[in-house]
Structure 1
Amino acid sequence: MDALEVRNLHVAYDRKAVLEQVDMTIPKESLTAIVGPNGAGKSTLIKAVLGMLKRSSGEISILGKPYNPKNRIVGYVPQRGSVDWDFPTNALDVILMGRYGHIGWFKRPSKQDIAMAKEALQKLGMEEYADRQIRQLSGGQQQRVFLARALVQDAEVYFMDEPFVGVDAKTEKAIIDLLRELKQKGKTVIVVHHDLQTVPEYFDHTLLLNRTVIANGPTEEVFTKELLQKTYGGTLAFFTAPGEQRSG
């Protein structure tokens, strides 16, 4: 059984195709990068899979079943820029929102829920900011709070939309350490990623996307200069594939 299976997915905005004939599978217990140029449909793919965007056609299954947001098997970390950070709440309360699928929206978090939220803060080096208003946090700190919220969901499959964008080196290390820990626990993590240089180091599976699937498989097999050139076309520059040396 694969973590994610997508068949014949088409998505359009105002009748303009954004994704066409997307067929793909993502194996369980993998760290997968979704890679492609701007406008390739990477974020659209995640949102279509999660039912946040209407699809023209396509069949989607997660862990062998049609996706149902009520079954709590999926965790989602959106792009930081899409979040209203002026909402008046603190870091701990944001993380506790990740437990609402388990406890319900109208019940108070238990001591165990609060302990899980504090543990997630600690894992990401944010325990001292538990009572800090989220609008007062730096960009990297905000991102770590959202990752902690996903962590306490205790999902089986995690979707993350560019979690490394705009963060400092300390936060980037905290994020990749967390992703590796999730994989070790048998979870599947699917990440929209923009930094080609770190793909071979961070991810064991890669999906190359440009409106349709260019390649999908183990990173060591699909992350080649030829397939990247096919994915990015003339926009791919100053990139050295693993094992190669820059000329000049």
Structure 2
Amino acid sequence: MSEAVRVENITAAYRKEPVLRNVSFALPQGRLIGIVGPNGAGKSTLLKAVLELIPKSSGNVEILGSSVRSQKKNIGYVPQRGNVDWDFPTNALDVVMMGRYAQIGWLKRPSKKDKALAVEALERVGMKEYADRQISQLSGGQQQRVFLARALIQDAQVYFMDEPFAGVDATTERAIIDLLKELKEKGKTVIVVHHDLQTVTEYFDWVLLLNQRLIACGPVEQTFTSELLQKTYGGRLSFIQQENLKI
């Protein structure tokens, strides 16, 4: 099975306090993968460390068999909404167009084809009519759809998404997961930080359980078990109704 991502012994810290400790795993290509763990487990930190958005204390990462830097054009990233400056004066179409800069270069003007692709991406996420709307004037769910469109226009091979379902309504969540499954069907690898345990078995076919250290990584049916969830969440799992977890 070809690997989309290989991580070896990543350690990362904030203010000298370790958040990730010697995390190693390999993720296969063409899968929809959930990263699951309690608050403070280091899920978002893991994405940022893998993508070299924050420094690592140690460790090595390969995307599609080579360095992250050499695979930039093949990587799509959707950050958490809370990490974005929504007051930046730009409209939805321009935000999506940013996803094309890796192909066209920052100093070149987008072509008619680039603009057409951006409009098409907005249409795919149900946001075409908001193309000229300032990003700050959109709702949380609409903003999330725009950032998803920006990732789609990159036509990447591996997508990293940090809680794309957080703060969106049920309709938007369904639209997003349908698109992610469509990407998977096209052979793309989609890696998603996710917090809702009740939808893990419905949404993903592979799961990574994390709590500062790697607890387990593998197919959902083998990895998303009561025993491994207890190791991941400890006492914090007690508030979750076991009958609602499809395990």
TM interval, short-chain normalised: over 0.9
What is the deviation of 1:238?
A: 2.2
SS of equivalent to 1:174: helix
Which is worse superposed, 98-107 or 62-71? Answer: 62-71
What is the deviation of 1:69?
A: 6.1
The verdict on how the C-alpha distance between 1:35 and 1:67 changes in structure 2, with shifts beyond 3 A counting, is same
For residues 130-156 of structure 1, the C-alpha deviation after alignment (integer angstroms, 9 at most, x for no partner) is 010011100000000000000001111
Is 1:196 the counterpart of 2:194? The answer is: no
Task: Provide structure 1 residue ranges, at least 5 long, that are not aligned to the other structure.
Answer: 244-248
The verdict on how the C-alpha distance between 1:70 and 1:2 changes in structure 2, with shifts beyond 3 A counting, is closer
Is 1:149 the counterpart of 2:150? The answer is: yes
SS of equivalent to 2:44: helix
Task: Provide structure 2 residue ranges, at least 5 long, that are not aligned to the other structure.
Answer: none
Please name the residue that 1:242 is paired with.
246
Separation in structure 2 between the aligned mates of residue 133 and residue 12 of structure 1, nearest angstrom: 36
Please name the residue that 1:161 is paired with.
162
Please name the residue that 2:116 is paired with.
115
Aligned pair count reads: 243
Separation in structure 1 between the aligned mates of residue 32 and residue 95 of structure 2, nearest angstrom: 25
Please name the residue that 1:2 is paired with.
3
Q: Percent identity?
A: 66
TM-score (normalised: structure 2): 0.96
What is the deviation of 1:239?
A: 3.1
TM-score (normalised: structure 1): 0.96
Amino acid in the other structure paired with 1:206 = V
For residues 14-53 of structure 1, the C-alpha deviation after alignment (integer angstroms, 9 at most, x for no partner) is 2211101101011100000000000000000000001011
Separation in structure 2 between the aligned mates of residue 76 and residue 196 of structure 1, nearest angstrom: 22
Separation in structure 2 between the aligned mates of residue 186 and residue 153 of structure 1, nearest angstrom: 15
For residues 193-236 of structure 1, the C-alpha deviation after alignment (integer angstroms, 9 at most, x for no partner) is 00000000000000000001101000111101111011000111
Please name the residue that 1:62 is paired with.
63
Amino acid in the other structure paired with 1:53 = I
Which is worse superposed, 8-17 or 200-209? Answer: 8-17
Please name the residue that 1:246 is paired with.
none
**Conservation of the 8 A alpha-carbon contact between 1:70 and 1:101:** no
Please name the residue that 1:207 is paired with.
208
Is 1:129 the counterpart of 2:130? The answer is: yes
**Conservation of the 8 A alpha-carbon contact between 2:49 and 2:55:** yes
Moved over 6 A (4+): none
Separation in structure 2 between the aligned mates of residue 90 and residue 225 of structure 1, nearest angstrom: 45
SS of equivalent to 1:200: helix
Amino acid in the other structure paired with 2:151 = A
Separation in structure 1 between the aligned mates of residue 47 and residue 208 of structure 2, nearest angstrom: 12
Separation in structure 1 between the aligned mates of residue 22 and residue 44 of structure 2, nearest angstrom: 16
Please name the residue that 1:27 is paired with.
28
Separation in structure 1 between the aligned mates of residue 147 and residue 36 of structure 2, nearest angstrom: 22
